[in-house]
Chains A and B, each alone.
Chain A
Amino acid sequence: DAGVIQSPRHEVTEMGQEVTLRCKPISGHNSLFWYRQTMMRGLELLIYFNNNVPIDDSGMPEDRFSAKMPNASFSTLKIQPSEPRDSAVYFCASSYYSAVTNEKLFFGSGTQLSVL
């Protein structure tokens, strides 16, 4: 398996522009997570999906952030408009969710976002 695939690996954009981050989870996984990592705040959960349905989006900073999972093999995280404080590494992770077993999270390589 190719693992969790994120694109792009690096994104540099100007303040006010729309940014779209993409994620392909591991085939067969039914949970997908978006995390943001910064030096100041560490690793923050933004949103996660079970079976393509958003379960908890309380970590999404504000309305400028939106995430979708139109099918089991694809998710996007969109920032519109972007601001310099959005600069961070954004990780996508996937897992198989079961109410009776524990399964680890598999992380993608992350997207390094820089908003100038």
Chain B
Amino acid sequence: AQKITQTQPGMFVQEKEAVTLDCTYDTSDQSYGLFWYKQPSSGEMIFLIYQGSYDEQNATEGRYSLNFQKARKSANLVISASQLGDSAMYFCAMREVRRGNQFYFGTGTSLTVIP
């Protein structure tokens, strides 16, 4: 089974609107971390936001927030007030703390912000 599933290969959003990028994960561990990375066309991988499995509040970093629903095993990224510079690939990832530091990445979602 896939550890990380991103079901949206491509998404479009109007500038200044909010957008949600979906991510579901599969683990039997109690302790894990969830991460989102952005990869613009220039190719670098940029860390955006982190959520720990024991964190009760959803993580927020500026315009990014993580909608963490533990029972559903989902960790959706919400980008508010989209900007043209948000156009990029977005990857969801998970680390299972007690399994030797393996990081699992999803297949990514390509986001295009339309002016």
Within 8 A of B (CB), among A76-116: 89, 91, 93, 95, 97-102, 104-107, 109-110, 112
* CA–CA, A33 and B37, complex, Å: 16
**Residue numbers in B under 8 Å from A107 (CB-CB):** 37, 44-45
Using known A-B contacts A42-B108, A109-B43, A109-B44, determine if residue A104 contacts B35 with beta carbons closer than 8 Å.
Answer: yes
A42 touches B44 (CB 8 A): no
* CA–CA, A42 and B43, complex, Å: 13
Question: Which residue of A48, A109, A110, A112 contacts B101 across the interface (Cβ within 8 Å)?
Answer: A48
* CA–CA, A92 and B102, complex, Å: 14
A interface residue count range (under 10 / 10 to 19 / 20 to 34 / 35 or more): 20 to 34
Using known A-B contacts A43-B91, A110-B44, determine if residue A97 contacts B108 with beta carbons closer than 8 Å.
Answer: no
- Bits for A18-34, please: 1 = Cβ < 8 Å to B, else 0: 00000000000001010
- Distance in Å: Cβ of B87 to nearest Cβ of chain A: 17
- Distance in Å: Cβ of B112 to nearest Cβ of chain A: 17
* CA–CA, A107 and B43, complex, Å: 11
Chain B CB within 8 A of A7 CB: no
- Distance in Å: Cβ of B111 to nearest Cβ of chain A: 16
**Residue numbers in B under 8 Å from A56 (CB-CB):** 100, 102
A→B interface (CB under 8 Å): 31, 33, 42-43, 45, 48, 50, 55-56, 89, 91, 93, 95, 97-102, 104-107, 109-110, 112
